[in-house]
Each structure stands twice: as structure tokens, then as C-alpha cells.
């Protein structure tokens, strides 16, 4: 016992120590990561953010320097605050507030004292800066918009929030990231990769040299410039036409799927979201709950498509061979169906209606018949509905389209199962869901889906996924955007339908919208819509909807327009469609009167009506 006591203790101690080392270094220690070591300072070098050009190479978004006044509180010596404040054009109270905030953050580390100094203030200050110890100016790069249009398309950048930082460790507090539009869709391309310098610091936070002689340091990789498919002239014109209205325009080049313009109204000047007034302006835009200027109406405003949908109803009926071009009815101004003799009104004026005339005059009865025949083709309504739904969806409706835009809505195209669930104890049939025939009922679409559908019709049976990117420096195009998507309708069936759409302009619902010299095919649409005010469902003035493509042979543009609460389709949406098409194809406007009428029209009263608190009437002047 006497001999072994110390032996034992020594061995025991050794075991304890190795155990403790195991606990500290292996069990409870994470793998060493240079990025979390607080003995290493990481200094980031931000690359130049890529420029954005439009399809005609005009520069839309560039960068500009922004100057932040920085302060290291410990280094500040007593100063002439009155002079300092007058140079920066701030009040003494603000000075103290900023200074104290910086001091609370850290007396030793630099903080932003005043951000986004204007160029003039910067000039004044930099002259006198040496008088103010502890203050210095840090240059940052912010966006410089060369245009006042396309805010929804271009988007904006802002400091990454906590959620974004968590999702992608690339971002650190204070880093800028795309928040909307192209800036977010092509964030990784535009931002480049920031360079990192690892610097060994000591306990006093002083830099004592590069970590491992800089072997881990990286150089910044500049962001790539991109070219987008937007035609900025057309976009500007679209925004002009849409002023004082709410809605969206989506114009697509059918032969490529390139988005020529993506107008969301009302819009805002993108320069509002740069600089010191940014957050004030953002709050203002964000809080406008009537106009919702930050929402891209062309992409996410879901609505019933209304009559333009009849074109697809016709195509599916043709494909299912339940009608042909000669199938005809006599419209009596209403369509009567079901055992209870329910009626659907028709405003076409009545008379002999075949496919062509049905489209030309937008005859509800004709399409109710066509839809009913399609759904009643097979004994089982659910099965027929599935086939119908499949055809409709092949036009890109009811899906996100797989485009390169940051936001979108799926919309809704019901199938058999949808109604089986809806009517569990009831055998539904074509007449139960007859409103779908005229693009109402359960159908929901977004303007971009309508534009894409129009492009598919213009192409007679295929479309390219709509996209906004035209060219990225040194990269080839995403093949998703260069391979055509076939619709499930035989190309031969498009000819009569397009003929009908052409007649809409020649003698139908849009005859007064004709643009001399351009063969346009289009379809008007009017969609009922409802809102809830104080919990009461109220019907509002109809949405004015229009789809068109032109020229008839070799289409150059397919367009879909939504003017919210603009009454019938030809009224505003149709006029805008004609003007946009002429602007794009001809580059000049001959319909001067129509142009003035549209530009001067304000629907502001219409939008405020439901919120006035008084009873109101819809669909009237």
C-alpha cells in the first residue's frame, strides 16, 4: 500500500487528464473553422455588382459610390460640433444620438455614423475631415438607376435580413442582396463573389498580419453584366399608358419566349429605393394598401380569365373532336341547361353561331355548348374533366411556368378530382361547372400565364418558357428557355381559332381597336370580381382583360393586359393592347386620339369607391 499510493495517483491523474483532453478537444469541440475563430478577422472585399442592360443594349442599372461617415468613438477628440453638424446638415441632437449608438456598439470598433452622404456634402466634409479625429469616410457602392421605369422588373437591393443570412452563410450582416425582380433572380450572377482576407488579430483587436501568409485569402470576382429581354421603350410606353390605373401588361415575343415588357401599375421610380431616404420611401410604398406598388401585378395578380379563355375551350373541344369548324348553334341570347332550365346569359347579340362567329362575337352559348360536349364526351364527367384539364394545363396555365422571375402564382385549373372533392355526395356534370366555359367559375390565371397562352396560340401549338434573361456575359443560355414546349392540341386546329381571333378585330368585339396596316388577332375579356369589405363580400366593377398577338402571320408580339375594374375588355385593356402592338411593331403611334384618351384616363375614383364607406354602384360611369 505504501509503495503503490503515489504510483496509483500518478496513473490516475494521467488518465483523468487524457480524459479531460478528450472531452475538451474531441467530444465537445467542433471541427476547427477559420470562419468562426474570433482570433481571425475577416475583411471582405466587395466586387462590383454587374450592370443590367435592356435588349437594345441601353444601360438600365449601374453602380454609384455612396459615402458613409464612419466613427471610432475612442479616437474622437473634442470637436467643433456646430461646424461638423452644419457640414453634414444634421442637428446636434442627431449627432449625439448617432455618436452614443456607435459608442454603445463598441468604443474601439468603427460604426456607421451617417450613411449615404450626398456628393455635395461629401465634398464639403472631405475638405475639413482632418479636423475631426476619429471620423473617416468609407466608400460603398450602391445601385444607380439610369431609368425611372421598370421598378418591378429590375427590383432593388438592400441589406440582407436575418432570414437570408441564415439561409445562405455567404451573406454577413450589412451585405447587400437582391430583394426583388432581376436583382433577386440573378443575384448570384450579378453579385459576383466577395474576396476574403484573413487577418490574425491579437487580444487588443489589433491586426498583426495575414493568417498563414494569406494562403486562404481570395480575390473578389466581379459580378457579371446581364442583358434582359425587356424593351425599355415599350416598357416605358406601357407604364405611361397604365398610369392612374391598376393592373399589368405582359408582352412576350412568341418565337423566343422573351418578355418584351412587364408592366405593373402603379409603379414607382426605382431611384426612390437608393440612398438615405430608402427606408422612408420603402415604408410609404409598402403601406399603400390600395395600389400595392411593390406587388408585381403582371406576375401575381390572380383573376378569372374571362372570355379569352374561350379560345382554349374551343381548342380542347376541337382536339377532343366534339365539335368541328362547321358545328353551329342558334344563340337566343341565353343558354338554357339542366333539368331546372337554368340559364346563362349571352351578350353576343344572338343568331347563327359557328366556331368563327362564336369567337368573333364572344358568344357564351356557343362555348357553353362546346365545353358541355367536351365534358360529356365520356360517360364519366371526372374522366373527361381530367382530359380537359390536361389540355388546358399544357398551355402553362395552373403552373408556375418555370420562368426566371422571382415571384409568381400558380393560378388554378380544376381537374376531375377537384370537383369530386368539392361535391362528395353529388354527381356533378358539365352543367354544374358550366361557368368554366366562359373563363369564370374556378379558373384562375395571372397575366403572364395569359400572355404565354397567347404566345402558344400565335405559334400554333408550342411556346418557349417566358424568361427575362437575354444574355449573361460568358454564359450560354439555360436550355429550359431555348427548347419549345408542345401543347397537347393538334396544330391544325389553331388555324380556324386564329381566324376567329382575327375577326374579333375585323368585325367583332374589338372592331374599333383596329390598327391600320397591322393584322392583329385578339380576344376581349371581362371578368367579374369580388372583394371583402368589413367581412361583406361585394362585387366590384369588372376587370378589363385583353389578349392579342400580331402580326397574324409570323407573330412578333403576344400580349396580355389586365386593367383592374376597367369594365369590359375592349374598353381599356383592348385599347392599350392596340397601342402597345403598334408601338412595338411600328415604333410610332398613329392612333393619337386613342393614345390621349388612355393616358388621360384615371380609374382612381373606381379604386377608392369601395373604401368610401358609402354604397356604390358598379360597371357605370
Partner 1 sequence: MNLNRSNSFQLDWVTVIIFMALVVFGYFNILSASAAGEFTSYFDITKPYGKQLIFILCSIILIILILSVDAKFYERFASIIYIGSLLSLAGLFIAGKQINGATSWYDFGGITLQPSEFAKFATILALAKYISDLQTNIRDKKDQVKAAILVSIPAFLILLQNDAGSTLVFGSLFFVFYREGIPQYYLLFGMFVAILAIATLKFSATIVCVSIATLLLIYHFFFKRKKKKIGGVLTILIFSIGLSFSVQWAYNNVLQKHQQDRIELWLRLEKDPVKLEAMKRNISYNLNESEKAIRSGGTFGKGFMDGTRTKGKFVPEQHTDYIFSTVGEEWGFFGSSMVVILFVLLILRILFLSEQQKSQFSRVYGYGVASILFVHFLINIGMVMGLIPTIGIPLPFFSYGGSGLWAFTILVFIFLKLDSNRLNEW
State the minimum distance, in angstroms, from the CB of residue 114 to partner 1.
32
What is the separation of C-alpha 65 from the centre of its chain, rounded to a whole number of angstroms? 28
DSSP-assigned beta bridge partners for residue 159: 176
Instruction: Decide if residue 214 touches partner 1 (CB under 8 A).
Output: no
Cα gap 457→436, rounded to integer Å: 19
Cα gap 568→366, rounded to integer Å: 20
DSSP H or E run through 334: strand 334-337
CB closer to partner 1, 38 vs 289? 38
- Which among 1-9, 107-115, 505-513, 586-594 is the span making contact with partner 1, rule CB under 8 A? 1-9
State the minimum distance, in angstroms, from the CB of residue 200 to partner 1.
5
Instruction: Decide if residue 14 touches partner 1 (CB under 8 A).
Output: yes
Q: Cell triple for residue 337? A: 341547361
Q: Which of residues 39-78 bind partner 1 (CB under 8 A)?
A: 39-40
CB closer to partner 1, 27 vs 530? 27
Q: Find where cell 456634402 sits.
A: 121
State the minimum distance, in angstroms, from the CB of residue 76 to partner 1.
26
Total number of residues that touch partner 1 (CB under 8 A): 36
- 580, 234 contact by CB (below 8 A): yes
Q: Cell triple for residue 562? A: 389586365
Instruction: Decide if residue 173 touches partner 1 (CB under 8 A).
Output: no
Using a CB cutoff of 8 Å and minimum separation of 24, what contacts does 610-619 make?
A: 610/531, 610/533, 610/538, 610/540, 611/290, 611/533, 618/539, 618/540, 618/541, 618/542, 619/541, 619/542, 619/567
- 236, 27 contact by CB (below 8 A): no
Q: Cell triple for residue 596? A: 390621349
Instruction: Decide if residue 479 touches partner 1 (CB under 8 A).
Output: no
Binder among 107, 174, 209, 491 for partner 1 (CB under 8 A): 209
Instruction: Decide if residue 167 touches partner 1 (CB under 8 A).
Output: no
Binder among 53, 211, 371, 572 for partner 1 (CB under 8 A): 211
State the minimum distance, in angstroms, from the CB of residue 444 to partner 1.
54
CB closer to partner 1, 1 vs 93? 1
- Which among 15-23, 281-289, 376-384, 573-581 is the span making contact with partner 1, rule CB under 8 A? 15-23
Binder among 20, 131, 133, 390 for partner 1 (CB under 8 A): 20
3-state per-residue secondary structure call for 155-204: CCEEECCHHHHHHCCCCCCCCEEECCHHHHHCHHHHHCECEEEEEEECCC
State the minimum distance, in angstroms, from the CB of residue 108 to partner 1.
15
Instruction: Decide if residue 380 touches partner 1 (CB under 8 A).
Output: no
Instruction: Decide if residue 82 touches partner 1 (CB under 8 A).
Output: no
Instruction: Decide if residue 17 touches partner 1 (CB under 8 A).
Output: yes
Binder among 173, 203, 330, 536 for partner 1 (CB under 8 A): 203
What percent of the chain is helix, strand and coil (3-state, nearest 5)? 40, 20, 40
DSSP H or E run through 389: helix 381-393
State the minimum distance, in angstroms, from the CB of residue 169 to partner 1.
20
Beta strands 521-533 and 52-53 are unpaired
**Backbone conformation region of residue 412, classed left if phi is above 0, alpha if psi is from -120 to 50, else beta:** beta
Instruction: Decide if residue 22 touches partner 1 (CB under 8 A).
Output: yes
For 472, other C-beta atoms within 10 Å of its C-beta total 17
Chain positions contacting partner 1, by CB under 8 A = 1-3, 5-7, 9-11, 13-14, 16-18, 20-22, 24-26, 28-29, 31-32, 34, 37, 39-40, 200-203, 208-209, 211-212
Amino acid at each position: 500500500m505504501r509503495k503503490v499510493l503515489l504510483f496509483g495517483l500518478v496513473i490516475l491523474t494521467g488518465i483523468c487528464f487524457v480524459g479531460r483532453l478528450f472531452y475538451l478537444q474531441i467530444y465537445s469541440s467542433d471541427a476547427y473553422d477559420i470562419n468562426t475563430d474570433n482570433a481571425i478577422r475577416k475583411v471582405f472585399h466587395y466586387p462590383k455588382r454587374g450592370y443590367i442592360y435592356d435588349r437594345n443594349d441601353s444601360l438600365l442599372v449601374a453602380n454609384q459610390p455612396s459615402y458613409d461617415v464612419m466613427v471610432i468613438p475612442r479616437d474622437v477628440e473634442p470637436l467643433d460640433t456646430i461646424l461638423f453638424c452644419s457640414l453634414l446638415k444634421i442637428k446636434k441632437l442627431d449627432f449625439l444620438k448617432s455618436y452614443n449608438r456607435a459608442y454603445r456598439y463598441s468604443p474601439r470598433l468603427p460604426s456607421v455614423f451617417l450613411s449615404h452622404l450626398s456628393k455635395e456634402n461629401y465634398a464639403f466634409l472631405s475638405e475639413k475631415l482632418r479636423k475631426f479625429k476619429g471620423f473617416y469616410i468609407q466608400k460603398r457602392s450602391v445601385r444607380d438607376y439610369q431609368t425611372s421605369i421598370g421598378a418591378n422588373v429590375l427590383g432593388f437591393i438592400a441589406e440582407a435580413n436575418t432570414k437570408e443570412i441564415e439561409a445562405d452563410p455567404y451573406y454577413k450582416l450589412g451585405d447587400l442582396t437582391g430583394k426583388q425582380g432581376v436583382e433577386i433572380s440573378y443575384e448570384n450572377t450579378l453579385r459576383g463573389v466577395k474576396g476574403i482576407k484573413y487577418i490574425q488579430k491579437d487580444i487588443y483587436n489589433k491586426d498583426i498580419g495575414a493568417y498563414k501568409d494569406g494562403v486562404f485569402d481570395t480575390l473578389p470576382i466581379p459580378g457579371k453584366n446581364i442583358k434582359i429581354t425587356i424593351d425599355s421603350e415599350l416598357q416605358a410606353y406601357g407604364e405611361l399608358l397604365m398610369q392612374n390605373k391598376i393592373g399589368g401588361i405582359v408582352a412576350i415575343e412568341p418565337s423566343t419566349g422573351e418578355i418584351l415588357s412587364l408592366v405593373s401599375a402603379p409603379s414607382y421610380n426605382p431611384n426612390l429605393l437608393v440612398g438615405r431616404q430608402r427606408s422612408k420611401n420603402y415604408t410609404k410604398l409598402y403601406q399603400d394598401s390600395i395600389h400595392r406598388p411593390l406587388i408585381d401585378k403582371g406576375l401575381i395578380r390572380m383573376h378569372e380569365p374571362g372570355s379569352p379563355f374561350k379560345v382554349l375551350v374551343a381548342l380542347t373541344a376541337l382536339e377532343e373532336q366534339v365539335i368541328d369548324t362547321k358545328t353551329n348553334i342558334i344563340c337566343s341570347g341565353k343558354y338554357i341547361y339542366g333539368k331546372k332550365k337554368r340559364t346563362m346569359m349571352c351578350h353576343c347579340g344572338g343568331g347563327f353561331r359557328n366556331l368563327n362567329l362564336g369567337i368573333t362575337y364572344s358568344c357564351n352559348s356557343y362555348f357553353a355548348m362546346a365545353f358541355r360536349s367536351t365534358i360529356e364526351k365520356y360517360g364519366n364527367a371526372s374522366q373527361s374533366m381530367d382530359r380537359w384539364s390536361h389540355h388546358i394545363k399544357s398551355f402553362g396555365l395552373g403552373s408556375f411556368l418555370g420562368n426566371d422571375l422571382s415571384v409568381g402564382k400558380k393560378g388554378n385549373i380544376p381537374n376531375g378530382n377537384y370537383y369530386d372533392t368539392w361535391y362528395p355526395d353529388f354527381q356533378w356534370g358539365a352543367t354544374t361547372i358550366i361557368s368554366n366555359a366562359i373563363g369564370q367559375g374556378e379558373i384562375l390565371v395571372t397575366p403572364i400565364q395569359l400572355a404565354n397562352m397567347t404566345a402558344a396560340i400565335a405559334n400554333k401549338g408550342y411556346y418557349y418558357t417566358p424568361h427575362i434573361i437575354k444574355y449573361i456575359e460568358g454564359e450560354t443560355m439555360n436550355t429550359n428557355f431555348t427548347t419549345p414546349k408542345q401543347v397537347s392540341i393538334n396544330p391544325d386546329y389553331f388555324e380556324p381559332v386564329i381566324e376567329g381571333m382575327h375577326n374579333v378585330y375585323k368585325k367583332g368585339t374589338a372592331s374599333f381597336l383596329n390598327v391600320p396596316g397591322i393584322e392583329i388577332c385578339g380576344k376581349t375579356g371581362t371578368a367579374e370580381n369580388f372583394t371583402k369589405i368589413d367581412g361583406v363580400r361585394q362585387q366590384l366593377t369588372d376587370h378589363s382583360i385583353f389578349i392579342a398577338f400580331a402580326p397574324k402571320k409570323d407573330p412578333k408580339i403576344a400580349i396580355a393586359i389586365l386593367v383592374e375594374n376597367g369594365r369590359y375588355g375592349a374598353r381599356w385593356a383592348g385599347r392599350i393592347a392596340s397601342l402597345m402592338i403598334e408601338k412595338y411593331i411600328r415604333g410610332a403611334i398613329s392612333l393619337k386620339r386613342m393614345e390621349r384618351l388612355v393616358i388621360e384616363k384615371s380609374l382612381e375614383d373606381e379604386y377608392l369607391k369601395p373604401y368610401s364607406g358609402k354604397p356604390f354602384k358598379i360597371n357605370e360611369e
